[in-house]
Structure 1
Amino acid sequence: MGSPENPLPTPTTTTGTAGLTALLAHPAKAVVALDFDGTLADIVPDPEQARAHPRALPALAALAPHVASIVVITGRPAEVAVRFGGFAGVPGLERLVVLGHYGAERWDAATGTVTAPDPHPGVAAARAELPALLDGLALGQGTWIEEKGQAFAVHTRRATDPQAAFDALRTPLAGLATRHGLVLEPGRMVLELRPPGVDKGVALTRYVDESGAETILYAGDDLGDLPAYTAVDALRANGHPGLLVCSGTEVPELSTRSDLTLPGPAAVADFLAALAEAVSAT
């Protein structure tokens, strides 16, 4: 499967093998769902500089016409993911959907528009308290805030000691989230505050129900992808074949649950290209 230059990797689990086999046999009944940062795009010190891997977009465009749907599910605002991914106006991706803010926002390539609910009031209230909280912790330079509209995140990757800053922030930010009716989502040197009841598992389950797909492939790289993994497990228990792909090994909570672990976004792009080759030959 795939080509000699780019063979299709083999899952390491029986459930993953069954999911891949079902996808290859009936691609038109499959949803391919993907995280953005760390999966389609490399993790970089400044998230504003993140872009989809150069091989990702051609692979997605080659794969999309053969499957029921491709959906990107990300914690970023949908418009930002579309811009950084270069997804708009790409031949082959006319049916692409991007679910931003863990599914709270939706962008459809067919219309080029974003739909979103009103922001949770707790986000603005917590954001107003954040500068004083950070000043009180005296973490030094390098810790910074990413505004997401429906949420916000505090990054420590550029701090002098990223892990120490992350650890120092976790409990105070959890308290801030609780006071304002939000949830705290930890990631790779980032802590995000967002509204409750919104996660990638909920978004994925709703999208699969909407699409009527029978088979699900989900690829992610970080703790925020765990709810999507759990959703795929639940769908598999209900008779839907599924394949869980992990990009990288930095998050063992994810990689130990995956059916197929790839080294990072470049390998994910090559996997998607090999998958496109395989389904186009059926």
Structure 2
Amino acid sequence: MVNSLPHPTTSTGRDGLAALLARPAKAVVALDFDGTLAEIVPDPEQARAHPDAVAALTALAPEVGSIAVVTGRPAGVAVRYGGFAGVPGLERLVVLGHYGAERWDAVTGTVQAAAPHPGVASVRAELPGFLDRAGAWPGVWIEEKGRAVAVHTRRALDPERAFEALKGPLGELATHHGLVLEPGRMVLELRPPGMDKGVALAGYVREVGAGSVLYAGDDLGDLPAFAAVEKLRADGTPGLLVCSGSTEVPELAERADLAVRGPAGVVAFLAELARAVREEA
């Protein structure tokens, strides 16, 4: 094991890292975007990848089988905010947007997408009036995500109280329109069923025939991806789970093999991983 790399705290995590280092060409490195490659900010439209993220990804990408960004954002938005397009060394990068409903491949520079769920358009039209009737919490706002709609409470005077007060009513609204409610860090997302990061990640791992998988995330929406890696490990594919440290989401930290200090920690880990793979070669 290369000493400069952080050591996973679990035996399964150590096995996952060892497998990646032993056969990097068969490894998938999958990463959430917001909170993992980019800091969480009050306005999601202002989120951008950590300044060193592209350099770290560019150093790692030629050493491993594949790098995938798995996000609830539209794929094209993640590409723009990440600065991933047209970067030498990232020709094989894949962005699985909208929890896998959209896919951007760097090799073609195009987005492929499934047909939108009709319930999203219905919720989009109904949601402003619905929130007014629910109490019009000052500071609560709606984010249009194309194939999903999100309600943010982070700017409210009491973000946690607003979050808890709206979770039940928004869950009923989602169900009425055939959608599901996905809670996050002071955000409630209404989106189609059958879309989550676990489904997207497991499908991609099967597609490329990965021999090992690393997944890094920070939020409740990353729990399905953690579960997918745990299932892969149970079936014989080594995996490493990394938490982009957050006191807001202890559920993720408790299941991680390794915790790092936010996007800066993730980026530093990826850079060290690239060095370690080169040294092992």
- The 5-angstrom pairing of residues 136-215 of structure 1 reads 136-215=133-212
1:86 to 72, 83, 86: 83
Tell me how far 1:158 sits from its aligned partner.
0.6
Tell me how far 1:128 sits from its aligned partner.
1.3
Q: TM-score by structure 2 length?
A: 0.98
CA contact (8 A) 1:28 1:67 kept: yes
Q: Name the structure, 1 or 2, with higher relative contact order (CA <8 Å, separation 6+).
A: 1
CA contact (8 A) 1:139 1:165 kept: no
Pick which of 75-84 and 160-169 moved more. 160-169
Structure 1 residue 232 corresponds to structure 2 residue 229: yes
Distance, in Å, in 2 between the alignment partners of 1:139 and 1:221 is: 29
CA contact (8 A) 1:33 1:70 kept: yes
Distance, in Å, in 2 between the alignment partners of 1:18 and 1:220 is: 19
Letter in 2 for 1:167: E
CA contact (8 A) 1:2 1:275 kept: no
CA contact (8 A) 1:105 1:116 kept: yes
- The 5-angstrom pairing of residues 1-282 of structure 1 reads 7-249=4-246, 250-281=248-279, 282=281
CA contact (8 A) 1:166 1:190 kept: yes
Tell me how far 1:140 sits from its aligned partner.
3.3
Distance, in Å, in 2 between the alignment partners of 1:78 and 1:181 is: 23
Distance, in Å, in 2 between the alignment partners of 1:52 and 1:253 is: 24
Distance, in Å, in 2 between the alignment partners of 1:233 and 1:66 is: 24
CA root-mean-square deviation: 1.0
CA contact (8 A) 1:2 1:274 kept: no
Tell me how far 1:2 sits from its aligned partner.
5.8
Distance, in Å, in 2 between the alignment partners of 1:72 and 1:217 is: 12
SS in 1 for 2:164: helix
- Deviations 1:110-158 (CA, angstroms, capped at 9, x unpaired): 0000011121000011111111111112233211111011101000101
Distance, in Å, in 1 between the alignment partners of 2:205 and 2:98 is: 18
Pick which of 134-143 and 213-222 moved more. 134-143
Letter in 1 for 2:265: A
- Deviations 1:210-262 (CA, angstroms, capped at 9, x unpaired): 00111000000001001101100110011100000000132111100000011
Distance, in Å, in 2 between the alignment partners of 1:51 and 1:131 is: 28
Distance, in Å, in 2 between the alignment partners of 1:56 and 1:140 is: 36
Letter in 2 for 1:188: R
Q: What are the ranges of 5 or more consecutive residues in structure 2 without an aligned counterpart?
A: none
SS in 2 for 1:65: helix
Letter in 2 for 1:114: V
Pick which of 73-82 and 163-172 moved more. 163-172
Q: What are the ranges of 5 or more consecutive residues in structure 1 without an aligned counterpart?
A: none
- Deviations 1:5-41 (CA, angstroms, capped at 9, x unpaired): xx21000000000000110111001000000000000
- Deviations 1:46-67 (CA, angstroms, capped at 9, x unpaired): 0001000011110000000010
SS in 1 for 2:255: coil
Ranges of 4+ aligned residues in structure 1 off by more than 3 Å = none
Overall identity of the aligned pairs, in %: 73
Distance, in Å, in 1 between the alignment partners of 2:16 and 2:2 is: 16
CA contact (8 A) 1:199 1:227 kept: yes
Letter in 2 for 1:105: E
